[in-house]
Amino acid sequence: MKTESVNKKEWFIIDAQDAVLGRLATKIATVLRGKHKPTYLPYKDNGDYIVVINAKNIAVTGNKLNDKIYYKHTGYIGNMKKTPLSKALTKNPSFVIKNAVKGMLPKNPLGRDMIKKLKIFDDDKHCHQAQNPTKLEI
């Protein structure tokens, strides 16, 4: 029995206007991994490309705007930087979506290749019209 290799990649576009962050991230991670295809293999990158537009208009539930905090350590003693979600959304909304999706992908070279297929734009303009992305509903 031979294993067939399917390399056809599709392009999808997702409008993040008023979409809930967690539900959006799970949908994106599923498509990036290729779990929506019948040819899914956990050790192969059969996923598709995703273009996310209107990232600055993302929604979160509960009190996460104030309670959720992103931590970054500079490497020096006592230099732990804390950024709440509300500040991260105004400064760099694409980081918030990318960080949520990255946590749902494998933590190995396969996951690092999958996250490269995610393209995030803050407004509704993007540079991937030539790929003719199909709209994906959340």
User: For the residues of 74-112, what is the DSSP string, one character each?
Assistant: -SSTT-EEEEEHHHHHHH-HHHHHHHHHHTTS-SSHHHH
Quick one: 11-60+90-135 is in which CATH superfamily?
Answer: Ribosomal protein L13 (3.90.1180.10)
Give the Cα separation of 52 and 119 in Å (integer). Answer: 6
- Residue-wise pLDDT tens for the chain (138 aa)? 776 666 788 999 999 999 999 999 999 999 999 999 988 889 999 899 999 999 999 999 999 999 999 999 999 999 999 999 999 999 999 999 999 999 999 999 999 999 999 999 999 999 999 999 999 998
Is 0.85 topped by the overall pTM? yes
Q: How far apart are CA 50 and CA 63, in angstroms?
A: 28
Q: Tokens 């980081």 — which residue? A: 95
In sequence order, which residues have a C-beta less than 8 Å from that of residue 36 and are 6 or more positions away?
Answer: 30
One-letter amino acid at 107 equals K
Under DSSP, is residue 65 helix (H, G, I), strand (E, B) or coil?
helix
